[in-house]
Amino acid sequence: MSSSSRRAPGAGSATRRQQARDRARLAAAAARRRRVLVQVGVVTAVAVLVLVIVATAVVVGRRSAPDAAAGAPVVDTTVTVGGARVPLAVDGSAVRLGRADAPAQVDLWVDYSCPHCQEYEAANAAVLDQLVAGGDVAVRYHNIQIVTGYGSAAGSAAACVAAEDPQRWPAVNAALYAQHSATTDGWSADQFRRFAASRGVTGTALDCIGEARYTGWITANTADAAARGVRSTPTLQLNGQTVPTLGGQQLLDRVGELARG
């Protein structure tokens, strides 16, 4: 072999070391590219997930009001209360007796399964009827369920009567309070149907009760009440201000003052 083709001592080792370094640099560069691609993929996936969540929230938010309205009873009529003809309508989460623009607005959050509500109804129903019959007071009954399932089932039954047989709503409302007991806590929709029939309710109102049509409305009303800060029943508001649950002459006097302005 000629001297011109002979390699210098250590040249082969140096070449191999250089090649190893080159391979290491290439491997490191490839690893960096893979990490970047993975990071980009993760960021993209998170961004897509956020967009999906936001879009879903927007859609649900847009649907919530119409869906709630669609699940509420619809009624706007007049009934006899305290010897006078007064408006009866559903306002959002409440059955309203009296003019929507009455100067005195009474809101009651009640539960048919609440013993205190039962007592309040028995003691003050005549007072509330007297106030509404005078023409300058509106009472909104927000039926919710806090204590037992009777509150939801009876609330649905009462809503059916308001929507389908409104003339009987005042009497059925009182009867559902009086009927509550440990025994009726377990009533089925059919038992509520038969009870309403015994109180003179007929036709489509009974069909509605048998379907338990408005239990979802009572559930929605309960959530709405919690969002408003209602923590117990009965809760009383006068012209939008929460007050102690006045009754009897105190209630008559205080609401009378509001009605007179």
Q: Rounded to an integer, what distance in angstroms lies between the CA atom of residue 11 and that of residue 5?
A: 12
Q: What was the pLDDT predicted at 101?
A: 98
71: left (phi > 0), else alpha (psi -120 to 50), else beta? alpha
Torsion sign, CA atoms 229, 63, 92, 166: negative
**Local structure of 165: helix, strand or coil:** coil
Collect all residues with Cβ–Cβ distance below 8 Å to 149 and sequence separation of at least 6.
113, 185, 186
Beta bridge partners of 241: 238
Q: What pLDDT tens digit does each residue of the chain (261 aa) get? A: 444 444 444 555 655 565 566 566 666 655 666 664 545 454 444 343 333 333 333 333 333 333 344 499 999 999 999 999 999 999 999 999 999 999 999 999 999 999 999 999 999 999 999 999 999 999 999 999 999 999 999 999 999 999 999 999 999 999 999 999 999 999 999 999 999 999 999 999 999 999 999 999 999 999 999 999 999 999 999 999 999 999 999 999 999 999 998
Q: Is the pTM of this model over 0.85?
A: no
CB within 8 A of 40, min separation 6: which ones?
A: none
- Domain residue spans in the chain? 9-70, 74-260
Neighbours of 260 (CB within 10 A): 9
Two structure tokens written together for 167: 């003339």
Q: What is the pLDDT of residue 44?
A: 47
Handedness of CA 226, 231, 234, 236 (dihedral sign): negative
Q: Which stretches does DSSP call E strand in 65-193?
A: 76-81, 84-91, 94-97, 104-110, 137-143
Contact 226, 105 (CB under 8 A): no
Fold for 74-260, please state it.
Glutaredoxin (3.40.30)
User: What is the model's pLDDT at position 45?
Assistant: 45
State the Rg of the chain over Cα: 35
Structure tokens that stand for 221 in this block: 């009303």
CA distance 50 to 61: 16
Residue 223 tokens, joined: 């959530």
For residue 228, what are its two tokens? 């408003």
Q: And the tokens for 230?
A: 């209602």
